[in-house]
Amino acid sequence: MSEIPYKIYLNESEMPKAWYNLRADMVHKPAPLLNPATLEPMTAQELGGVFCEELVKQELDDTTPYYEIPQEIRDFYKMYRPSPLVRAYCLEKKLQTPAKIYYKFEGNNTSGSHKLNSAIAQAYYAKKQGLKGVTTETGAGQWGTALSMACAYLGLDCKVFMVKVSYEQKPFRREVMRTYGASVTPSPSNETQVGRKILAEHPDTTGSLGCAISEAVEVAVTNPGYRYVLGSVLNQVLLHQSVIGLEAKMAMDKYGIKPDVIIGCAGGGSNLGGLIAPFMGEKLRGEADYRIVAVEPASCPSFTRGTFAYDFCDTGNICPLAKMYTLGSSFIPSANHAGGLRFHGMSTTLSQLYHDGFMEAVSVVQTDVFEAAQTFARVEGILPAPESSHAILAAMNEAIRCRESGEEKTILFGLTGTGYFDLVAYKQFNDGTMSDYIPTDEDLQVSISKLPKVDK
Amino acid sequence: MSEIPYKIYLNESEMPKAWYNLRADMVHKPAPLLNPATLEPMTAQELGGVFCEELVKQELDDTTPYYEIPQEIRDFYKMYRPSPLVRAYCLEKKLQTPAKIYYKFEGNNTSGSHKLNSAIAQAYYAKKQGLKGVTTETGAGQWGTALSMACAYLGLDCKVFMVKVSYEQKPFRREVMRTYGASVTPSPSNETQVGRKILAEHPDTTGSLGCAISEAVEVAVTNPGYRYVLGSVLNQVLLHQSVIGLEAKMAMDKYGIKPDVIIGCAGGGSNLGGLIAPFMGEKLRGEADYRIVAVEPASCPSFTRGTFAYDFCDTGNICPLAKMYTLGSSFIPSANHAGGLRFHGMSTTLSQLYHDGFMEAVSVVQTDVFEAAQTFARVEGILPAPESSHAILAAMNEAIRCRESGEEKTILFGLTGTGYFDLVAYKQFNDGTMSDYIPTDEDLQVSISKLPKVDK
């Protein structure tokens, strides 16, 4: 047995006191969000109607390298952080690999994922601005749960629009949010203009994330004292999530460990952007080199088969345009795909870094992902979320290549969460009824051809 | 902010290397199990047909104070232990109490509870004896999940009989067990003689724990290479669970903290017996004094309203008799009660200690328990299991008394697990449709009057 423990925990006194703003070290900054009406960059004032002030500042600031984490947020972090950096001794043994595998586990909190890191920050700034509450949308429910927890802690009102099909199929997620005092409304609803319009036109619709976003934004901008918050894609979210990478790097530095490869799953980019932040910073500054790999589902392959262009962030086309790798906002991934990596686009920061050659991307199919999840669960004892399992599979593949080549690489991957609310998907896998879906080139040509015409 | 961190983690090198056998320090030993046919104490040979050898030895040994934890089990423990000892700063603030509240959190593993501590030990000894597999029953599913995980890790066959009503109402628990490779059979089934007999007589039965035990035992004794394992009540289980208390005491000693009151929920006694073990040891040896409080549901009040007598451990009356606090094996707690504290009896060790005045017991009603669970979740961020929430409520009540009296007591309680699979009960509470049930004196007189006549 090596001297490196199974789990490396930092002391609370070692926890990061500032978030790291990756954009400060980028030569090519991520392109600005554009106002969909004028196609001009969104101003702080325009964004301020939707988001609270401090978050607008963080969203637009691509030069300040560090943001101090307010003491109140650090106190909240202490309830579930520092999260463990785990040496996957049992997985290494199972794979008979000379590679050393580490994972940063973000599932040790009731929200079941890393989403809480940004939820508490966004709720804190809303509270500090004197707001009454926040609105948001949720699909699978991880983000909604995290936000409910943060708002319960701060005594802030929390209104969640949950895609109707999820509301009905994931009643337990809904109950967790209610236990934390959030109001959860199936979307589309009669509570908003946009919801009523959609219901009038499509009375039997099961809803969509795009529609839920529209409802949440409408409630935020029409109710004094409310703002809208979002759990991924945005620069501010990557800033808050940098706590993952900062802790991981500090824990590795403590034992003199340097990763060769860093792997994370990528939906909107919140986890990957957070995990890689300080490593990518070193890479951008020319201080160190790392291979950085984004893993995405073959059913929704924004990086590997998308195009780098301005596009809407929502299917309803009411939100600002972002320059990103996208499959087109009209692209709808197969409903049979499990998990939260179904976003058609990608964080603008990660998109720019990928475009500039600072990171790689691979796509993997769902049944392989669940096969890896099952193997991981049995040897490492954690039931992983489907999203996280994309990273597990890529890390396992890397370790198997090391077995074949004899290389003793050090692999770090992000284990973003647990799969307690994904057991319908596990059941499909256990029953052998899970299928894979890969969009055809024609499918993608159609959705990409509908991109808005932006000359930037 | 005090210098005591939110979470006290031991280093892996500080983890206990031996379990503590509380019985070694008891002057009045727990009474022996009796053979239901002869009413004579069960011999090692008789028990060996059902349990594997090393576990029989541990079951019967009431003199050896320490059992070394085999290295393989310690390696497994490292995947999810040491578990954190948490200072409930936020709960203290919420209650405005001068009391200091600590909880030992055992929910940071996929089984979601402390059950894994004994599951890995029992599976390990079965494997070491060269057995092919183990059988067990499960109701709510925590024990079955824990055993599935342990067996997956060791490559041991695992056969779980799950009470039919739970099998149907908790499909997600079933899927977790299947993901870990266990076979899960709804009980009663056609796979056993006893199951077929019950089905012939009661084709529409939804099953019972007693019936599931009978089926699991039958499969174990009629299949070469199989033994039966059990997750609570037994002395061996309390021995393995002592790891909880040993870690808690070590963490508190490290910071010079001495608890005044130690609180745990009590169903069969596995968690409570483990948490209190080293503290009770000091108390028995006259080295220190602690108040030790068992918390049980008012719907199944073995300690507070039961009688201390020999009784069957199972409703089917095929298992050995144990001398314990019991409501009678024919007592059936209301089906509307959530959680795993519905056993009519209690660990013989804890029963003897309670009888001898070394501990107290209180009973609490379900809606109060969920009220406490909700408060705890909102301030401490963990969604607790209903079982654990009994201890939360008792600890909160103690802290409120301290607020009134001004006493700065130090309270330690066991947070045995998470409530991810108990959201049907949370929904009832959120909807206001949860009810309380307290058996009448007449109910208890009837079931207690049916106790077997044993002159010991």
In chain B, the percentage of residues whose pLDDT exceeds 70 is: 98
List chain A residues with CB under 8 Å of B376: none
Q: Mapping DSSP to helix (H, G, I), strand (E, B) and coil, where does residue B267 land?
A: coil
Kindly determine whether residue A378 and residue B153, on different chains, have CB atoms separated by under 8 Å.
Answer: yes
- Given a cut of 80, is residue B433 above it in pLDDT? yes
Using the CB atoms, write b or e for B236-274: b if 16+ within 10 Å: bbbbbbbbbbbbbbbbbeeeebebbbbbbbbbbbbbbbb
Counting DSSP H helices and E strands in chain A, the numbers are 18, 15
List chain A residues with CB under 8 Å of B418: 110
Residues 6+ apart with CB under 8 A from A268: A231, A232, A233, A237, A343, A345, A346, A347
- Given a cut of 80, is residue B119 above it in pLDDT? yes
Say how far apart CA B296 and CA B389 lie, in whole Å.
10
Provide residues of A within 8 Å CB-CB of chain B.
Answer: 1, 5-7, 9, 11-12, 75-76, 78-80, 90, 108-110, 149, 152-153, 171-172, 175-176, 178-181, 374, 377-383, 418, 420-421, 423, 426-427, 430
Say how far apart CA A10 and CA B368 lie, in whole Å.
37
The helix, strand and coil proportions of chain A, stated in percent and rounded to the nearest 5, come to: 45, 15, 40
Q: CA quadruple B379, B381, B383, B387: dihedral positive or negative?
A: negative
In chain A, the percentage of residues whose pLDDT exceeds 90 is: 86
Q: Single out the residue of A31, A27, A49 nearest to residue A40, CA to CA.
A: A31
Neighbours of B395 (CB within 10 A): 30
In this prediction, residues B331-337 reach a mean pLDDT of 75
User: Which of B173, B423, B426, B427 should one mutate to test binding to chain A, selecting the residue with the greatest count of A CBs within 10 A?
Assistant: B423
Q: Which residues on neighbouring strands pair with residue A161, listed in sequence order?
A: A137, A185
Say how far apart CA B178 and CA B79 lie, in whole Å.
21
Kindly determine whether residue A377 and residue B79, on different chains, have CB atoms separated by under 8 Å.
Answer: no
- Given a cut of 60, is residue A2 above it in pLDDT? no
| More confidently predicted of B171 and A63 | A63
Say how far apart CA A159 and CA A182 lie, in whole Å.
6
List chain B residues with CB under 8 Å of A177: none
List chain A residues with CB under 8 Å of B375: none
Kindly determine whether residue B379 and residue A153, on different chains, have CB atoms separated by under 8 Å.
Answer: yes
Neighbours of A17 (CB within 10 A): 12
Say how far apart CA B319 and CA B316 lie, in whole Å.
8
Distance separating the N- and C-terminal Cα atoms of chain A = 56
ipTM for the predicted complex: 0.94
In this prediction, residues A329-356 reach a mean pLDDT of 86
List chain B residues with CB under 8 Å of A79: 6, 90, 380-381
Counting DSSP H helices and E strands in chain B, the numbers are 18, 15
List chain A residues with CB under 8 Å of B153: 90, 378-379, 381
Inter-chain CB pairs, A–B, below 8 Å: 109
pLDDT digits (tens, 9 = 90+) for B374-426: 999 999 999 999 999 999 999 999 999 999 999 999 999 999 999 999 999 99
Kindly determine whether residue A110 and residue B5, on different chains, have CB atoms separated by under 8 Å.
Answer: no
- Residue B205 confidence class, pLDDT cut points 50, 70, 90: confident
List chain B residues with CB under 8 Å of A152: 377-379
Task: Provide the pLDDT for residue A1.
Answer: 39
Side chain identity, residue A3: E
| More confidently predicted of B268 and B2 | B268
Residues 6+ apart with CB under 8 A from A445: none
Pairing label, strands B360-364, B291-297: parallel
- Cα B51 to Cα A100, B37, B123, B317, distances in angstroms: 39, 18, 11, 18
List chain B residues with CB under 8 Å of A381: 76, 79-80, 109-110, 149, 153
List chain B residues with CB under 8 Å of A75: 1
- Given a cut of 90, is residue B140 above it in pLDDT? no
In this prediction, residues A171-198 reach a mean pLDDT of 94
**Residue bearing tokens 């745990």:** B264
- Residue A407 confidence class, pLDDT cut points 50, 70, 90: very high
pLDDT digits (tens, 9 = 90+) for A209-266: 878 988 999 999 999 999 999 999 999 999 999 999 999 999 999 999 999 999 999 9
Residues 6+ apart with CB under 8 A from A3: none
- Given a cut of 80, is residue A420 above it in pLDDT? yes
- Cα A207 to Cα A185, A199, A222, distances in angstroms: 12, 9, 22
Task: Provide the pLDDT for residue B406.
Answer: 97
Q: Single out the residue of B36, B30, B29 nearest to residue B321, CA to CA.
A: B36
Q: Which two tokens stand for residue B342?
A: 């519905």
pLDDT digits (tens, 9 = 90+) for B36-76: 999 999 999 999 999 999 999 999 999 999 999 999 999 99
Q: Single out the residue of B369, B360, B388 nearest to residue B86, CA to CA.
A: B388
- Residue B364 confidence class, pLDDT cut points 50, 70, 90: very high
What's the gap between Cα A306 and its chain centre? Answer: 18
Kindly determine whether residue A179 and residue B11, on different chains, have CB atoms separated by under 8 Å.
Answer: no
In this prediction, residues A116-141 reach a mean pLDDT of 96
Q: Which two tokens stand for residue A162?
A: 């949950």
Kindly determine whether residue A12 and residue B9, on different chains, have CB atoms separated by under 8 Å.
Answer: no
Task: Provide the pLDDT for residue A336.
Answer: 65
pLDDT digits (tens, 9 = 90+) for A68-127: 999 999 999 999 999 999 999 999 999 999 999 999 999 999 999 999 999 999 999 999
The CA distance from A149 to the nearest CA of chain B, in Å, is 6
Query: Are the C-beta atoms of B138 and B160 separated by less than 8 Å?
Result: yes
Say how far apart CA A74 and CA A317 lie, in whole Å.
36
Which helix or strand (DSSP H or E) is residue B105 part of?
A: strand B100-105
In this prediction, residues B206-232 reach a mean pLDDT of 91
Provide residues of B within 8 Å CB-CB of chain A.
Answer: 1, 5-7, 9, 11-12, 75-76, 78-80, 90, 108-110, 149, 152-153, 171-172, 175-176, 178-181, 374, 377-383, 418, 420-421, 423, 426-427, 430
Say how far apart CA B63 and CA A19 lie, in whole Å.
55
**Residue bearing tokens 């009045």:** B28
Neighbours of B276 (CB within 10 A): 33
Task: Provide the pLDDT for residue B1.
Answer: 39
Kindly determine whether residue B382 and residue A110, on different chains, have CB atoms separated by under 8 Å.
Answer: yes
Kindly determine whether residue A153 and residue B9, on different chains, have CB atoms separated by under 8 Å.
Answer: no
Residues 6+ apart with CB under 8 A from A204: none
Least confident of A102-106, B329-333, B367-371: B329-333
Query: Are the C-beta atoms of B393 and B369 separated by less than 8 Å?
Result: yes
Question: What does the DSSP 8-state code read for residue B335?
Answer: T
Kindly determine whether residue B172 and residue A110, on different chains, have CB atoms separated by under 8 Å.
Answer: no
Nearest CA in chain B to A107: B108
Q: Which two tokens stand for residue B336?
A: 């509307």
- Residue A455 confidence class, pLDDT cut points 50, 70, 90: confident
The CA distance from A350 to the nearest CA of chain B, in Å, is 31
Q: Mapping DSSP to helix (H, G, I), strand (E, B) and coil, where does residue A321 land?
A: strand
Q: What does the mean pLDDT of chain A come to?
A: 94
Nearest CA in chain B to A110: B382
Kindly determine whether residue A79 and residue B108, on different chains, have CB atoms separated by under 8 Å.
Answer: no
pLDDT digits (tens, 9 = 90+) for A284-303: 999 999 999 999 999 999 99
Say how far apart CA B434 and CA B367 lie, in whole Å.
7
Query: Are the C-beta atoms of B353 and B266 separated by less than 8 Å?
Result: no
Q: Which two tokens stand for residue A384?
A: 């992983």
pLDDT digits (tens, 9 = 90+) for B253-284: 999 999 999 999 999 999 999 999 999 999 99
